[in-house]
Structure formats: C-alpha cells, structure tokens
Amino acid sequence: MENKITNKGFSLIELIIVIIIAAILGQIGFVSFNRLSRKAKSLAARTALINIKKECEVNRDMEMNTNFTLVDLNSYSIETTSTNSCLGRSDNNLVVLRPDNEEDYPFYYYDFFNNQVGCELDENELNFIQQEDRFDGNQNIIELDGWWGRNDRATITLNGRNYIAYATDYWLGVRNDDLDGRQSHQIKWGDKLWKQISEKINNDELIDNEGNTIKASVSGNQIMISSKSQKPLDIKVVAYNDQGGNNTKPRFLKKQNIVPPKTECSNQFRF
C-alpha cells in the first residue's frame, strides 16, 4: 500500500489571523517605543533645566554674571532674555523650555528669583506661576464707555436681580462736557458708579446656579463680576440719563473670560 504525503499551505483564514496578530504586536511595539522616546526626551529636558538652575545659583552666589551655558536639546528650545540669561523671559521672568510638539510634551520652566523649577501642559499657565491664588471660573468685565447726560443711572441685572447705581457730574466737581475728554474724570465717574453696585452685590452674598459665591470688584472705570463656575453668569447692563432717557447707543464695553481648571503634568513628566 502506497502512502501519499500531501503538503498543504496555510488557509486564507489562518493567514488573516497571522496578519492581525502581527499588526497588533507591531502597534504595541510602536506605542511602547513612542512612550519610551517621550520619556527620554522629557528626561533630557528636565536634566538640562536642573543643570541650568545649578549654574545660575552658583553664579549668583559667587557674584558672577547671571548667564548659563547653552545646551542643544532634542525636541525642545530654550527661551529667555538675551539668549542665555538666568533672569528669564521679559513677560514672566521664567527660563522656559518650549517643546517642538506641544501636544505630546509639556513646558518646563525655571524661576530664578524663587529657586523653582516646574512643569506645565499649557503655556498660558506660565503666566500664573508667580500668583499665589490662581483663579479658575468665569470673569465678566464691564467698562464705562461714554456719557450722555448730566445725571446718569446704570442698572446691572445679575441672574435676574437688579442693581442700580447713580452718578452725576456735580459729585465729581466737573462739567459733563469734560467727562469724555479726560481719562482721570472717566475713572472717577466709573469708580463712583461701580462701587455702589459692587458693594450691593457683595453684601447680598449671591451664589450662581452651581452654588459658587459671586464676587464683584472695582478697578478704575471697570467692574469685574466673577464666580468659580465654568458656565457664564447671566448679566445685562442698561444705562439711563435725565437728558436722553434709555440710550440706544452702547455705553458699556463687556468682556467675558472662562478660565478652565488647571491640568497637572502627569507623573512621567514631573520633576
């Protein structure tokens, strides 16, 4: 009896399964390699910044010039005043390491004046480094923008509640005609008007729809109304004067900012 040996290849289903497994393993390997690459590059940036910090502090203690030795970093660039100054950028006094890819890598910074290094995911957060209390929530700024009569009244409606304030040129000791032309008079007028409303809002201890306290403050001819909520407050402002009644021309400038909560750097990027 004759035995026949038949060599069979892989079936189509078997080949597909092998290809799928190979693709999965390849993807896992790529992700792992990418993660290790990110760790290595961020570690190099942190190490470089620590060395910059040490050099700057030694130079300061020895009363030498406040400059550091430049280094060439992969995936990062160094930002400071005069190329290599320990004093940092002119806008925030920080030596900043900016990532080439801001989506995958954090910003690193060195604060020479406070001997501090740190990590931020968003460049805007660098502006809050020196602030003790970082604000997050909604800010509503209303600025005075012109006058129409000698005796003026403004009503701010905040979450359905009206707050009314009055101001006259007599209180300021100046003719109404001069108000638009002099910045100092504008600030005095706004200060008189807004302080009345600010005090009333704060005395009422208002809360927003999420239970956060609503606060008001005054700076010159501006009033700022804010709360910790990420949802905007319902604010309307209307002006009235004895000579013209309800004004159709806008007399207030309104600006609203929503500041999100800070997102911390993950452990793999921290010092």
Residues 22 and 122 in one domain: yes
pLDDT at position 183: 47
Q: What is the pLDDT of residue 120?
A: 92
In a domain, 199, yes or no: yes
Residues 169 and 121 both lie in one domain? no
Q: Please check whether residues 254 and 157 belong to one and the same domain.
A: yes
Residue 98 is part of which domain span? 11-134
Give yes or no: residues 71 and 177 share one domain: no
Enter the pTM of the model.
0.60
Q: Verify that 252 and 156 share a domain, yes or no.
A: yes
At 33 the pLDDT is 46
Ranges of residues in the chain with a pLDDT under 50 are 33, 148, 177-185, 245-250
Q: Are residues 70 and 35 in the same domain?
A: yes
At 187 the pLDDT is: 52
1 located within any domain: no
Contact 147, 189 (CB under 8 A): yes
On whether both 145 and 249 belong to a single domain, the answer is yes
Residue 265 forms part of a structural domain: no
User: Is 192 among the domain residues?
Assistant: yes
Contacts 24+ apart (CB under 8 A), 189-193: 189/144, 189/147, 189/221, 190/143, 190/144, 190/218, 190/220, 190/221, 190/222, 190/223, 191/218, 191/220, 191/221, 192/167, 193/144, 193/152, 193/154, 193/165, 193/166, 193/167
Residue 242 falls within a domain, yes or no?
A: yes
Q: How many structural domains compose the chain?
A: 2
Residue 168: strand, helix, or coil: strand
